[in-house]
Amino acid sequence: THFGFREVPETEKAGLVGQVFSNVAGKYDLMNDLMSLGIHRLWKRFTIDQTRARPGQHVLDVAGGTGDLGAALARRVGPQGRVVISDINPAMLEVGRNRLADKGIVGNVEFVEADAEHLPFADQEFDIVTLAFGIRNMTHPEQALREIQRVLKPGGRALILEFSHPTWPGLGPVYDAYSFHLLPHLGQLVAGDRESYQYLVESIRRWADQETLKQMMERAGFELVEYFNLSGGIVALHKGIKL
Ligand code: SAM
């Protein structure tokens, strides 16, 4: 089933997270641009550069949602390569599939409905695995990291892009004001959904800092783990190698 969805049973779909992304799927891309003032595009571009993806390679984008990374990766691996965009939420995948088709990105991309904690792929199937803004919402993030490690080939690299903890002095209060006051309003105004964005802000606060995620990756079996703070640590890109 190279270009289609692979269905999973209803029981495997996550509750709250699933509901949040079903509510926002149609407005998701617009909200990303608004909330980050477009800067998420730069974070994603940096991530794509760090994949070092080459023509012919096989790449998995876990929690790939509406396909931002997937689209860029598909261009890099070219017609001989393969990009699998997996996500637990069929509404997000549907938006992604339509977006990529609109851009003419077809043939080397595949959409798979799957829980990151139980990836339906063979051991050592991929050269590169990416995961952007998905891990903090997972029930067992360490299990997802172990799965990513498992499906990577030896020498393969994992790139985890996620919100993190601001490191620039003085940034903290500004960032708090923005995320606790302005952001839920934006969610209400644009998506008519204050709760979902409130939940996202809280999940960002609860999530691991840079060093903690690095240790989680090491425990999952990654080597040479390092991270890059982006926008003063609001976001961090973690990179790990499977040796
Ligand atoms: N990676 C995309 C991006 O950067 O624009 C989408 C990020 S979006 C904030 C988070 C995505 O993670 C959603 O599409 C959601 O459905 C997905 N997700 C959450 N929990 C998941 C899980 N356990 N397995 C797979 N996907 C999951």
Atom of ligand 1 lying closest to residue 61 CA: 1
What would the DSSP string read from start to end of 112-178?
EE--TTS--S-TT-EEEEEEES-GGG-S-HHHHHHHHHHHEEEEEEEEEEEE----STTHHHHHHHI
What separation in Å is there between the alpha carbon of 107 and the centre of ligand 1? 23
State residue 6 phi and psi, 5-degree precision: -110, 120
Confidence check: pLDDT of 140 > 80: yes
Domain 10-241, CATH number (from 2.70.70.10, 1.20.120.1770, 3.40.50.80, 3.40.50.150)? 3.40.50.150
**How confident is the model at residue 8, as a pLDDT?**
40
- The Cα 85–Cα 63 span in angstroms is 7
Sequence-distant (6+) residues with CB within 8 A of 21 are 28, 65, 89, 91, 92
**How confident is the model at residue 242, as a pLDDT?**
98
**How confident is the model at residue 115, as a pLDDT?**
97
Residue 221, both tokens: 């079996």
Tally the residues of the chain: 243
Our answer on whether the CB atom of 65 is closer than 6 Å to any ligand 1 atom is yes
Q: Tell me how many degrees the CA angle 116-121-125 measures, rounded to the nearest 5.
A: 115
Our answer on whether the CB atom of 17 is closer than 6 Å to any ligand 1 atom is yes
- Radius of gyration (C-alpha) of the chain in whole angstroms: 17
E strands present in the chain: 58-62, 82-87, 109-113, 126-132, 152-163, 223-230, 235-241
Sequence-distant (6+) residues with CB within 8 A of 40 are 32, 33, 68
The residue type at 160:
I
Comparing C-alpha atoms, which of 129, 147, 144 is closest to residue 84? 129
Our answer on whether the CB atom of 137 is closer than 6 Å to any ligand 1 atom is yes
> Can you tell me the ipTM of this complex?
0.99
- The Cα 97–Cα 74 span in angstroms is 13
**How confident is the model at residue 136, as a pLDDT?**
96
Our answer on whether the CB atom of 21 is closer than 6 Å to any ligand 1 atom is yes
pLDDT tier at 1, thresholds 50, 70, 90:
very low
pLDDT digits (tens, 9 = 90+) for 159-206: 999 999 999 999 999 999 999 989 899 888 887 888 888 888 999 999
- The Cα 166–Cα 95 span in angstroms is 31
Segments making up each domain of the chain, as ranges = 10-241
The percentage of the chain sitting over the pLDDT mark of 90, rounded to a whole number, equals: 76
Comparing C-alpha atoms, which of 224, 61, 221, 58 is closest to residue 143? 221
pLDDT digits (tens, 9 = 90+) for 69-101: 999 999 999 999 999 999 999 999 999 999 999
Comparing C-alpha atoms, which of 163, 150, 152 is closest to residue 238? 163
- The Cα 89–Cα 84 span in angstroms is 15
